[in-house]
Amino acid sequence: MKEYDVIVIGAGPGGYLAAERLAHGGKKVLLVEKAAVGGTCLNVGCIPTKTLLNSAKLYVHAREGAKFGVTADNVRFDWKAMQAWKDEVVTKLVGAVALTEKKLGVEILAGEARLLGPGKVQVGEKIYETEHIVIAAGSVPAMPPIPGSKNNPKVVDSTGLLSTPEIPSRLCVIGGGVIGVEFASLFSALGSKVEVVEMLDEIIPFMDKELAPALRRAMKDVKFNLSCKVEHIEDGTVCFRTKEGVEAKVEASAEAAAKADLVLMAVGRRPALDGWGARESGLDLTPKGVVVDDRMRTNLPKVWAVGDVTGRSLLAHAAYRMAEIASANILEGEAAAAKGQRMRWDYIPWALYSMPEGSGIGLTQEEAKKRGIDTIQASVPFRVSGRFVAENGFAAPGQAKLIADARTHRILGLHLIGAYASETIWGASAVLEEELSVEDLRQLVFPHPTISEVIREAAWAMKL
């Protein structure tokens, strides 16, 4: 008899949720984690970033309340107090995850796990036997070999920037993806002079190409350098080449008195394929990650992979869903797929917690075109919402774009920039999963007055 039904490698969102669901389903589960329970998301990713961003939003709101009849003197933030609150939130949430696992009977083991092959995992000196293995090894920040970036104390990754002791007076962000844009927004709100250098011709690659420029314009204190390739970094100065071949520089380096001028390397994350036996175990790998099918099976029998390590979607909630699919397939076998327990990659929403927020789900207009789908679309400003106007004013940035199939009118994508975008997008998961048409969406009742009503307005703005 094997010691465990399932060994889960990695206790980030994919790993801890798989362990929960499996234990809840009656399996004996060992959850192995080499660093902190909660993984990147909880410890150095989504949760700390959003906690700091919330404080920054409170700071901005407190300063800009006069229009709404609310004023205050000497509005200020205390970076150390913000950090302390962030640390308290992380500590308590990590504790809550560990407690949930314990209540369900999941054993948590601190250590580096090594996949030896199907049914065999080594931790330290000991070899554990198990029926199933779920790999949830996560991802690490990609650190491209830019000359001058290595061992440069002014160059940090997101983890380093989260714990910087002081607000940089100038911050250069290399990379205009979600991480880069959120940090740009955070530090810009806190008074840093921020420039973003992005190699591609637009920020946020999965954002619709009509909305991304609107987001840049809305982040009016941040300078964006697009189509710019970083060539080298000297101390705190980032040297890059524009599309036209012009050499240029962003100086994040110190003005006389600044102590903490920094360069954030935020060019993305890559699956963690080192140190746990990925290559030696016979797993099918590509540079993008562990190869899985839509039921999260790898090529090895009863070895499953979920989350960032698959490279399919580097989002915590995508990891959650993958974990649930792997768990359901482990618990129910063939019956699971018949119940819909397969990844539907196009129905994963995403959210951006910058000021303003952004979110999206499904296809962008460009992606639909690439797939040869004829689309219809409508784009409406958030100021069509009375609540948006009441809470933000008439000129505040906000835009909703809805995309549908021109022939069937089936909704293919929804993309938002503006207040509450991260919180309202989930409804579109239901809309897309249920394959609603524009006509169906028009019949849904939205509460008035809400900003969510812009989605309904977009459906009505569609020319059918």
CB 11 within 8 A of CB 38: yes
Stretch of residues binding a second copy (CB under 8 A), selected from 117-125, 202-210, 369-377, 388-396: 388-396
- What's the rounded Cα separation, in Å, for the pair 55 and 91? 18
Binding-site string for a second copy from residue 413 to residue 452, where x marks contact by CB under 8 A and - marks none: -------x-xxxxxxxxxx-xx-x--xx-xxxxxxxxxxx
Among 2, 28, 34, 50, binds a second copy (CB under 8 A): 50
CB-nearer residue toward a second copy: 119 or 307: 307
- Nearest distance from residue 10's CB to a second copy, in Å? 16
CB count in 10 Å sphere of residue 369: 12
**Where in 354-383 is the site for a second copy (CB under 8 A)?**
359
Among residues 24, 317, 415, 448, which one is catalytic?
A: 448
Q: Which two tokens stand for residue 276?
A: 């746990």
**Where in 106-145 is the site for a second copy (CB under 8 A)?**
none
Among 27, 170, 312, 321, binds a second copy (CB under 8 A): 321
Stretch of residues binding a second copy (CB under 8 A), selected from 81-89, 177-185, 196-204, 304-312: 81-89
Write out 238-250 in H/E/C secondary structure.
EEEECCCCCEEEE
Among 351, 412, 414, 462, binds a second copy (CB under 8 A): 351
**Where in 257-316 is the site for a second copy (CB under 8 A)?**
315-316
CB-nearer residue toward a second copy: 41 or 196: 41
3-state DSSP assignment of residue 5: strand
Angle between helices 316-332 and 13-24 (to 10 degrees): 30
Does position 79 bind a second copy by CB under 8 A? yes
- Nearest distance from residue 457's CB to a second copy, in Å? 11
Among 3, 26, 72, 99, binds a second copy (CB under 8 A): 72
- What's the rounded Cα separation, in Å, for the pair 432 and 409? 12
CB count in 10 Å sphere of residue 240: 23
Cβ neighbourhood burial of 211 (10 Å; 0-12, 13-18, 19+): buried
Residue 409 known to be catalytic: no
CB-nearer residue toward a second copy: 8 or 319: 319
CB-nearer residue toward a second copy: 144 or 386: 386
φ and ψ at residue 322, rounded to 5 degrees:
-60, -40
- Nearest distance from residue 259's CB to a second copy, in Å? 20
**Where in 169-198 is the site for a second copy (CB under 8 A)?**
none
How far lies 374's CA from each of 93, 139, 212, 365, in Å?
A: 45, 36, 22, 9
- Nearest distance from residue 195's CB to a second copy, in Å? 25
Among 55, 149, 158, 329, binds a second copy (CB under 8 A): 55
CB-nearer residue toward a second copy: 87 or 280: 87
CB count in 10 Å sphere of residue 167: 18
DSSP per residue over 280-319, as a string? TTT--EETTEE---TT-B-SSTTEEE-GGGG-S---HHHH
- What's the rounded Cα separation, in Å, for the pair 118 and 121? 8
Among 188, 310, 329, 341, binds a second copy (CB under 8 A): 341
**Where in 2-31 is the site for a second copy (CB under 8 A)?**
13
Q: How many residues bind a second copy (CB under 8 A)?
A: 89
- What's the rounded Cα separation, in Å, for the pair 428 and 437? 12
CB count in 10 Å sphere of residue 419: 22
Which positions are annotated as active-site residues?
Answer: 448
